Amino acid sequence: MGFGTELAAAGVLLVGIVVVASLVNAFAKDHRWVVRRLVILYALYALTLGVSFVLDRTGLGWARTARVVAHAFATFTAINVVAAVVFDLGLPRLGLHPAKIVSDLVLGLAYALGTGAVLAASGFSLSSVLTTGAVFSAVLALSLQSTLGNVLGGVTLQLDGSFKVGDWVQLENGRQGVVREIRWRCTILETRDFDTIVLPNSQLMTSTFTVLGRRGGKSVPRRMKHLFNVDFRTAPTRVVSVVTDALLASPLPNVADDPPPSVWCVDLGRDMRQSFAVYEVRYFILDLGPDSRTSSAVLSRVHASLRRAGIPLAMPVETHIRLEGDEADARREERHKLRRRDALSTVTIFRALEPEERAVLEAQLDYVPFTAGEKMTRQGAMAHWLYVMTSGEAEVRRTHEDGETTKLGTIQAPDFFGEMGLMTGEPRIADVVAKTDVECFRLRKEGFEKVLLNRPEIAKELSSLLAERRMSLLSAAGERTKSRGEEEERIFEAIGRFFGLKT
């Protein structure tokens, strides 16, 4: 091959590298290392080609050998240009992502064939080269048995599809990690503790491991479960119903809807030292990475639902309780009374009540916490109580007939909502969803009824305040409203009917 032909071939290769580099920078920025490899190979080609020309012109030996090496580097460069187009640009655009070992095997085979072609074209005897290569390979195989075992293990793991990059794997020692890379010698796992586990492939081939969240070769949600204990005096059917309703009422982040979360009574105290029933909450997690965060959200909702229902978690019977004096009990009760009083003071519709009447309502307040994401009340529900928020934030959403959901506003503690359900028994006109963890108190109809029946005349003033709040809420929802007077009269009559007042 003459000097001009060599320069033309070098120019074609350079153009190919520039085109591939431009495409990689535009469509596959994560594969820029391919461009670096092309540049290095091309530089070696240019260097050895220059050396061969110098040796040829000066008449020194090794010119032919240098030319063969240059042609080999040119062949390797051309092979890598084609490989970049196929494996880094073409196949990913088609949605195909072959394992790296597969592309490496193809490259290795192409290198071997290319080397043979270069040697044959240069007049070398292929039979002697193959014989020498076979002997050299046998020596390497004997001296590097463990390394070859790891290499073959990596190839096998890639080809048989035992697991793939992105799968979560549990090892025999119980450690879990996500597969980040399957290399020739080892497999790389990253744990939730930000550790990296380097596993020799031969070890994986001879040990048992569990691929988490996969069945039939497909990714599926993985079941998680947690135990909690409840005092045996509460009926298991009630515990299961309360907790299940809370888990299904609104979606939990990273928890699958199908299969849905469930609660089971799995054991009872077996001797006199155990005074509780054992329950298990089961749910299916979508992403195995944030498992602790998901577990915390599920258990927080379980705890909040039990608190709202007044169901106590169990305490060991061996627990020693120190009896405090009447003075300590009085201080504790006074703190609770102040919390309820402060909460009720934010309810503007009750400011017309006498101090004695507010004291009656304070005694009727129930503490009901909610966790972030829970629906505190549901649109269309017949709920005859009022919520008084003391901390946290909630969002008001209304779903229209066409299925579209509109955000009506945000409730920021201290505030209250649900007054129409308490006063008139009307269904809720919107959902209220906790944006953060919310602490609040709940006042039921039975608690307010004592005050209203004792002084029915306050119904008129309450109707005016309720009409004002309701009209502003409906206006935010973009719905037509009646006049202030008509709405006030309607609410007044509804209060009378709901509480059986003579109006």
Ranges assigned E (strand) in 354-492: 366-367, 375-377, 385-391, 393-399, 405-412, 415-417, 431-434, 439-444
Same domain, 368 and 446: yes
Q: What is the CATH number of the domain that holds 386?
A: 2.60.120.10
Same domain, 43 and 111: yes
Is residue 67 within 8 Å of 52, Cβ to Cβ? Answer: yes
Specify if 316 maps to a domain.
no
Q: Which of 4-18, 108-122, 140-154 is least confident? A: 140-154
Count other C-beta atoms under 10 Å from residue 90's C-beta: 12
Specify if 176 maps to a domain.
yes
Is residue 223 within 8 Å of 212, Cβ to Cβ? Answer: no
Specify if 53 maps to a domain.
yes
Specify if 324 maps to a domain.
no
Same domain, 128 and 268: no
Q: How do residues 222-277 score in pLDDT, each as one tens digit?
A: 999 999 999 888 999 999 999 999 999 899 999 999 999 999 999 887 665 667 89
Domain end, chosen from 143, 175, 208, is at: 143
Phi, psi of 183 (to 5 degrees): -95, 180
Is residue 437 within 8 Å of 372, Cβ to Cβ? Answer: yes
Q: Is the pLDDT of residue 109 over 90?
A: no
Domain end, chosen from 309, 340, 374, is at: 309
Specify if 79 maps to a domain.
yes
Domain end, chosen from 200, 216, 232, is at: 216
Same domain, 109 and 137: yes
Same domain, 136 and 211: no
Q: Which of 12-26, 200-214, 354-368 is least confident? A: 200-214
Identify the CA nearest to 199 among candidates 148, 154, 140: 154
Count other C-beta atoms under 10 Å from residue 429's C-beta: 17
Is residue 290 within 8 Å of 241, Cβ to Cβ? Answer: no
Specify if 325 maps to a domain.
no
Specify if 22 maps to a domain.
yes
User: Checking phi first, is residue 95 left (phi over 0); if not, alpha (psi -120 to 50) or beta?
Assistant: left
Q: Which of 288-292, 349-353, 387-391 is least confident? A: 349-353
How many structural domains is the chain composed of? 4
Same domain, 32 and 123: yes
Domain that holds residue 28: 3-143
Identify the CA nearest to 369 among candidates 302, 430, 423: 302
pTM over 0.75? The answer is no
Q: How do residues 146-199 score in pLDDT, each as one tens digit?
A: 555 556 665 666 656 678 888 999 998 989 999 998 877 788 899 999 999 998
Same domain, 51 and 78: yes
Same domain, 212 and 229: no
Residue 215's pLDDT band, with cuts at 50, 70 and 90, is confident
Same domain, 259 and 118: no
Specify if 323 maps to a domain.
no
Same domain, 134 and 27: yes
Task: Measure Cα distances from 193 to 154, 190, 293, 296 in Å.
Answer: 25, 8, 14, 17
Identify the CA nearest to 82 among candidates 100, 107, 55: 107
Q: Which of 203-207, 221-225, 373-377, 447-451 is least confident? A: 203-207
Same domain, 408 and 425: yes
What angle (nearest 5°) sits at the alpha carbon of residue 408, between those of residues 404 and 411? 135
